[in-house]
Structure 1
Amino acid sequence: MKIDDLFNILHNAIESENNGKKISLQDMANNLGISMRTYQDWKLGRAKPQAAGVVIKMLGKLDDDEIIRAVRKINRLGD
């Protein structure tokens, strides 16, 4: 899987969770604490953060319940 595909899938999934309301690149970048240019480059495949692909591969080795637990733990770390 290409990294830009990953970011596009996740971006679309977050929009879907938001009742289909479009989320701008700037708003998504702000929510992630990164620059809009960085997020745009990731989403368009111009830059490829190596860790993103590894994280997805690691999550892919877990069952659904473990993925949810891991993601919730990760989200709590950001609080």
Structure 2
Amino acid sequence: MQINDLFNILHNSIESQYNGKKISLKDMAKSLGISMRTYQDWKLGRAKPQAAATVIKMLGKLDDDEIIRAVRKINRLEE
């Protein structure tokens, strides 16, 4: 699994939680306390961050059911 896959799944899951409302890279980056460029590089796989804190922040934005769906999608990528 590539790190950008993880960020794309989590980004889409957060959008789903907001009834499919699109969240810009800029807005997501701002909510995570990072630059838009950094977040964009992570989503596109151009940078491979030490991202544990950011992943935890993203998971914290999801309700329990959406966390489960996201983790199941991530697990399927490793099969």
**Aligning the two structures, in what range does the TM-score lie when normalised by the shorter sequence?**
0.5 to 0.7
Q: What fraction of aligned residue pairs are identical, expressed as a percent?
A: 86
Q: Aligned pair 1:21/2:27, yes or no?
A: no
The count of corresponding residues between Structure 1 and Structure 2 is: 57
Q: Aligned pair 1:8/2:8, yes or no?
A: yes
CA shift, 1:28, in A, is 0.2
Q: Secondary structure at the match of 1:30?
A: helix
Gaps of 5+ in 2: 57-63, 69-79
Q: Secondary structure at the match of 2:27?
A: helix
Q: Distance in 2 between matches of 1:37 and 1:51?
A: 15
Gaps of 5+ in 1: 57-63, 69-79
Q: Distance in 2 between matches of 1:21 and 1:34?
A: 21
CA shift, 1:37, in A, is 0.2
Corresponding residue of 2:48: 48
- Specify the structure having the higher radius of gyration (Cα): 1
Scaled by the length of structure 2, the TM-score of the pair is 0.64
Scaled by the length of structure 1, the TM-score of the pair is 0.64
Letter of the structure 1 residue corresponding to residue 6 of structure 2: L
Q: Distance in 1 between matches of 2:2 and 2:10?
A: 13
Identify which of structures 1 and 2 has the higher relative contact order when contacts are C-alpha pairs closer than 8 Å and 6+ apart.
2
